Amino acid sequence: MSQCGERVGSILLVERLGVGGMGEVFAGVDERLGRRVAVKAMRADHGMDATARGRLAREARMLSRLEHPAICRLYELVETPDGDYLVMELVSGKTLDVAIADSMSPELKLAVAEQVAEALVAAHAMSVIHRDLKPTNVMVTSGGTPKVLDFGLARPAPEDEAAPDRPAPADAVDGYDDAGAVTRRGDVVGTPRFMSPEQAAGGRATAASDMYSFGLLLQEMFTEEPAYGVDLTSKQLLQKARWADTAPLAGLDRGIASLIRALTSLRPEDRPTATEAREGLRTIRERPRRRLRRIALAVVAVSLLLAAAGLGAGWLRARQGQAEAEQARAQAEAVNRFLRGMLESADPRDRGHDVRVVEVLDRAATELSPALSDDPVVQAAVLDAIGSTYHALGVYPKARRHLEQALELRRGALGPTHPDTLTSSDRLGRLLADQGELDDAERRLRDTLAARQEVLGEQHRDTATSLRSLAHVLELRGRYDEATAALTDALERLRAVAGPDDPETLATETALAMVLSRQGRFDEAAQVQRRTLAAKRRVLGERHPDTLASLGDLAVSLAQMGQHAEAEELMRATIEARTEVLGPDHPATLTARSNLSQVLAAQGRLVEADSIEREVLETRRRVLGPEHLDTLASIGNLAVTSVRRGDLSGAAELLRQALATASQTLGEEHPQTLMWMANLATVLLRQRRLDEAEALVRTCIERRTRTIGADHPSTLVSRETLADLLTAAGRLEEAEAEHRSLVNASRRALGPDHARTLKRERHLARLLRNTGREAEAEALEAGAPALEPQLTTSR
């Protein structure tokens, strides 16, 4: 019997996880690769004969062919004189039966069901049949991702099957019994509670048998009751299984019930394939999103109608005379016609697939001019709304084009100081800031603020909004003191004018907490975030997306303060709630999971961190695309984890990938592009590839100085890397000059007591000490420069 503390090759067995039909299962650590693994052990003293060893080899060959995120991966088969060992992915989480008992949300059930179906699609495509699919053979990770385990009863599908997804010919007679021997028909293999009729009758299992078991799994998951009833003996279970005598389906969604009935058909040929089941589940899961999309677009339609045509009570009071009222009605009818066409273009029945918001906006933009060209005010309102939506989606070029057109139309029709014109100017300024055009953004936003102060007054909420927009640019420039002052001023005005629980007030508090965090004032940031979170819980409720955003922001601040245990607890709560409310693939859910990965990495739990971030990266690539900023953030976070593992080559490769993509999609001087460049330079420094690192970091310093300023905190980080590089290269006079200049700049920009300033003083002291100038050294030595991690807030 294997024992904890034993070694299997490079793997140390550290914990016994259980005993199964194939033998014992251990958690182990592969000390060569620095990762945790699961080890399934079959030893000779367990009586494993040549037949059983052959079965183990077959299992290894089958599993090694399966590469899918929802299938537990096999790393290697280790054969020793004392026994054989399967080394597999170690999956953290809980088995599906436990998850069902803990009350899964309907959204999570559908997501898990679809991914298990995808695993069966992959397995059947490789002619591999599981033969014992059941909830205890499915693990659900903390992020809601299922992993199908234990292909111990699996076997290759016979070569005479017409297709991997279809049942085998009726005259096929051979299978494998539980010991691995080839058997005659009549032997029963599997778990009776999840067994297909043909298996219960001793027949051969096929892909269709897996689908029957999948149907029983779905029935138990969605009804939370055994499919064959309770308190039955094995004999009674087998009898029910032979005739597909399952419990009635009551109270289920009609689509789910219909799919389960089809999967649990008595005749194998009547059951859907894995591909058909997956597509059926996908349709069911997307149905609420389609309804929500139509509802959301209808809400947008009403909002645009009121905003563009000016049908609010205040607007009507401002209008004078019957002629103007008739004109207002005409504008409303024009907007209605346009929006009706926009909504009809979003109906997936007309186009055969789900329509993304961007596609709806693209079509609306194309049809906008002919629909509304007679009224520039109405056209500008719709352009402004479309441009703002493009901005929120991260489609900056299209956003800019529409916002600029809206501003031009409003300026011409309403005048340069009309409130609507100033709203367009403010939105365009924020977009310019997010595009990295900080000089133009600041000029525009300062002009807009001055105009609003003159036209609307100091206490108007739009004036406070301008202060928040300006603070956003100041934050991006690294002028945190000015940003804090602007936000504090805006917050005071909003509390007086709109009240402490107004959405604009809470949004401004959220922005203030962000700037405080940037300044290293994490405790103050957390205090503001706790207050904002309490207000959102009171006003919006526990499960509102904005409340969950504040919960996630607070978790990030706690992580930055080093309070990892509480941060982890809040992040897991955020993930669970966002998965239930928004779904497991929603960008906000993925952001929370990515942040959890970084907190785990900071605690040295690198295997867990890497596993979660890789799942997030794969989902972001699928949902958001390979060029999205969030996708790049996952690549960068994996690089940070690689550095912590000591895998500098892997980190450099990941950062090169992120840098190349960002350069192409965002531009060579975008702040995100320069962050990847700075991080790559730091990794190259640690690899002692000094020439390449120096070229990169000097380019980064030059571009950051030009775009965000010489004293911006990010520019100073790059200068710190350069100073350490010069020290490593033995160019001590240059290094000392750079360190002294950096310390002075840091004191000026961040203050003499800032953590970064103190660290840089210690770096300089270490250099002085190493050159024999002990009297000048005033601080302790510090470690190497850190990468810039991407813990992401709701912004």
Just list the catalytic residues: 132
Distance CA 322, CA 329 (A): 11
Helix, strand or coil, per DSSP, at residue 756: helix
Residue 753 neighbours by CB under 8 Å, 6+ apart: none
Residue 691 CB neighbour total at 10 angstroms: 10
Distance CA 728, CA 40 (A): 47
Residue 651 neighbours by CB under 8 Å, 6+ apart: 639, 640, 642, 643, 683
Does the CA dihedral 744-749-750-752 come out positive or negative? Answer: positive
Residue 791 neighbours by CB under 8 Å, 6+ apart: 556, 559, 560, 595, 598
Q: Which of 83, 143, 80 is nearest to 111 (CA)?
A: 143
- State the angle between helix axes of 713-728 and 690-707 in degrees (0 to 180), rounded to the nearest 10: 160
Q: Which of 518, 517, 572, 510 is nearest to 546 (CA)?
A: 510
**What is each CA distance from 286 to 88, 272, 281, 291, in whole angstroms?**
33, 19, 8, 9
Output phi, psi for 234, to 5 deg.
-60, -40
Q: Which of 177, 154, 182, 157 is nearest to 167 (CA)?
A: 157
For residues 213 and 194, the answer to whether their CB atoms sit within 8 Å is: yes
Q: How far is CA 623 from the centre of its chain?
A: 9
Residue 578 neighbours by CB under 8 Å, 6+ apart: 545, 548, 586, 588, 589, 592
- State the angle between helix axes of 106-125 and 564-581 in degrees (0 to 180), rounded to the nearest 10: 80
Task: Decide: residue 540, CB within 10 A, 0-12 exposed, 13-18 middle, 19+ buried.
Answer: middle
Reported in sequence order, the residue ranges of 569-638 that DSSP labels E, i.e. its strands, are none
Output phi, psi for 419, to 5 deg.
-55, -40
For residues 120 and 130, the answer to whether their CB atoms sit within 8 Å is: yes
Q: Which amino acid, 167?
A: P
Distance CA 738, CA 722 (A): 8
Both tokens assigned to 55: 């079965």
Can you name the residues that pair with 95 across neighbouring β-strands?
Answer: 139
| Helical (H) or strand (E) element with 86 | strand 83-89
Distance CA 763, CA 768 (A): 9
Both tokens assigned to 103: 């009350």
